[in-house]
Amino acid sequence: MYQNLRPFRDTLLSRGYDYHWSELPEGHSWGLWRANIDFLLEYFFPSSGTSVEQSSFVNEKSFEVFQNYPNPFNPSTRIRFSIPNNINENQLVTITLYDILGRELSTLLNEEKAPGYYEYLFNAESLSLTSGVYLYKLQAGEFISIKKMILTK
């Protein structure tokens, strides 16, 4: 698609998008590249697997919580969020898991985080969950966002 993806990648990062690399199965020499541009767009190119834990390219004015990916998932999924750069102090970030009836199942994350982009890897096997719809709530200061995710087995 592109002979040199580095400038394209840098442009996406400067605009607050993220990317992931992973190796396709069965010895293919293509890597999978994903960017969150409202919906995930897929691009393929050679690469070894890497991932981004935190990036300084985030929305400067508001918190963001992205839909987990993949969704539906089995057994693991990634929950991505960002803390805006205009906040000058660390935020206590809590991710709480609920069943579809609103019963709290587990606190997945409860940590102080500096402004930036973060990705939390959730593995449902650690909680022995059954197939179904679950809710995750991310709270940081006064900001709260709740999203649905589907576990399939």
3-state SS record for the chain: CCCCCHHHHHHHHHCCCCCCEEECCCCCCCEEEEEEECEEEEEEECCCCCCCCCCCCCCCCCCEECCCECCCECCEEEEEEEECCCCCCCEEEEEEEEECCCCEEEEEEEEEECCEEEEEEEEHHHHCCCCEEEEEEEEECCEEEEEEEEECC
Question: Which of 33, 84, 36 shows the shortest CA–CA distance to 56?
Answer: 84
CATH number at residue 90: 2.60.40.1930
How many domains are contained in the chain? 2
User: Does residue 94 share a domain with residue 19?
Assistant: no
User: Does residue 144 share a domain with residue 76?
Assistant: yes
Predicted local distance difference test score (pLDDT) of residue 67:
93
Q: Which two tokens mark 149?
A: 């995710």
- The parent domain of residue 109 ranges over 64-151
Q: Which two tokens mark 52?
A: 């981004």
Q: Is residue 41 in a domain?
A: yes
| Residue pLDDT tens, the chain, 153 long | 445 566 666 676 666 666 654 444 444 443 333 333 333 444 433 333 344 444 444 556 678 888 999 998 999 999 999 888 777 788 899 999 999 999 999 999 999 998 888 999 999 998 989 999 999 999 998 889 999 999 998
User: Does residue 91 share a domain with residue 138?
Assistant: yes
User: Does residue 72 share a domain with residue 36?
Assistant: no
Q: Which two tokens mark 96?
A: 């709480």
User: Does residue 145 share a domain with residue 73?
Assistant: yes
Predicted local distance difference test score (pLDDT) of residue 97:
96
Q: Is residue 1 in a domain?
A: no
Model pTM above 0.75: no
User: Does residue 25 share a domain with residue 100?
Assistant: no
Q: Is residue 51 in a domain?
A: no
Q: Is residue 133 in a domain?
A: yes
